[in-house]
Amino acid sequence: MPRTILPNSRVSPRFSGICTFCRYPRLEDVSSENRPVDWAIYGVPFDSGVTYRPGARFAPRAIRDASQYVKAYHLAHGVNVCETLSLADAGDAPVKPYHLEENLKVVAQWATDLADPFTRLFAVGGDHTIAYANILAARNRLRATGVKQDKGVALIHFDAHLDTVDEVWGEKWGHASPFRRAIEDGIVDPNAMLSIGLRGPLNREDDLEFARAEGVTIVTADDCDGPEPNAASRAIDPFLDSLGTRPVYVTFDIDCIDPAFAPGTGTPCPGGLTTRDAFSLLRRLRGINLIGADVVEVLPERDPAGVTSFLAAHILFEIIALDAAARAAR
């Protein structure tokens, strides 16, 4: 008996019906035998934190639409995600488009109270500011389920940028700053933070200073070049070993991918990861104790062929498949 009841695509075509993420049921439609759901996927249609092109507020809808063709069986992991996990679309978080910090409070509170405390949270942005709210909510829920959290959560961060700038235009809560705030506020442990995909040009060299000084492990896009073992895998494997069973959150800024594969994003940067690089790196994370995730920074307006939204839908699937693979192995 599958844990996630999908419409039968041989009866109800993938291009019909009301869009939910990957055709998963709406949270309110999940029957009692498939509760508590393992993952609640929700949109955060918010982009007031951007420093360049706006429009990521439209991404949850675009990604829902693009996700209709995401199928259930993960070939590389050998796991049927929908038979292993109960998944649901929890709708969109309430947002405060005129207020950055207030928005985070509202989203974090809503997400903290969502579904069952054992349900994992997957946020679909929106700009990268919203990661702070989902990490905070994931951490609140860990606490509510009795998981001791002396330090912040471990974080695996895919991004062309470090997002640890102190402030931009006098604002401390913009999308260049979420991990600066998360580290300062103790919700992310910088010694257990891995950032993958960084590349230049930067505004200035000291943009890296904070992350370096706090002990963040940085794997640049250049490190991902060439066949494995390359510099990236040599850095990532010991990092993953050091995590053990600690709770890990994965945040995926679509701009870590090269704009040739993911043009629909607000602060694009050439020379990024290929789709295959990203899938290979994500699959390498198999075995982590995943407690929450997000995919952010898709800009549908700059995505005429829909490839970026389509990729984001599959990144979501790849991340959730990590949890399915881990549970199927138990």
Question: What does the binding site for Mn ion look like in residue numbers (CB under 5 A)?
Answer: 128, 159, 163, 253
- Please identify, using beta-carbon distances, which residue of 87 and 312 lies nearer to Mn ion: 312
Nearer to Mn ion, 38 or 297 (CB): 297
Q: How far, in Å, CA of 83 to CA of 34, rounded?
A: 11
Q: Distance of alpha carbon 283 from its chain centroid, rounded?
A: 14
CA-nearest of 221, 297, 306 to 252 is 297
What whole-number distance in Å separates Cα of residue 317 and Cα of residue 282?
11
Exposure of 208 by Cβ count < 10 A (0-12 exposed, 13-18 middle, 19+ buried)?
A: middle
For residues 83 and 101, which CB has a smaller minimum distance to Mn ion in the complex? 101
**By C-beta, is 49 or 247 nearer to Mn ion?**
49
CB atoms within 10 A of CB 20: 22
- Shortest Å, Cβ 230 to Mn ion: 23
Q: Which is nearer to Mn ion, 25 or 49 (CB)?
A: 49
Give the burial string for 139-148 (b: 16+ CB within 10 Å, else e).
bbbbeeeeee
The closest of 106, 135, 116, 147 to 27, measured between CA atoms, is 116
Cβ proximity to Mn ion: between 81 and 262 the closer is 262
Strands of 87-92's sheet, edge to edge?
87-92, 39-44, 120-125, 289-296, 247-253, 153-158, 188-198, 217-220
Let me know: does 255 contact 204? Beta carbons within 8 Å: no
Q: How far is the CB of 111 from Mn ion (least distance, A)?
A: 19
Pick 79 or 194: Cβ nearer Mn ion: 194
Q: What is the DSSP letter of 207?
A: G
Cβ(198)–Cβ(221) under 8 Å? yes
Tokens coding 302: 């700059």
For Mn ion, the closer of residues 159 and 303 by Cβ is 159
Alpha-carbon distance of 117 to 42, in angstroms, equals: 15
Q: How far is the CB of 163 from Mn ion (least distance, A)?
A: 4
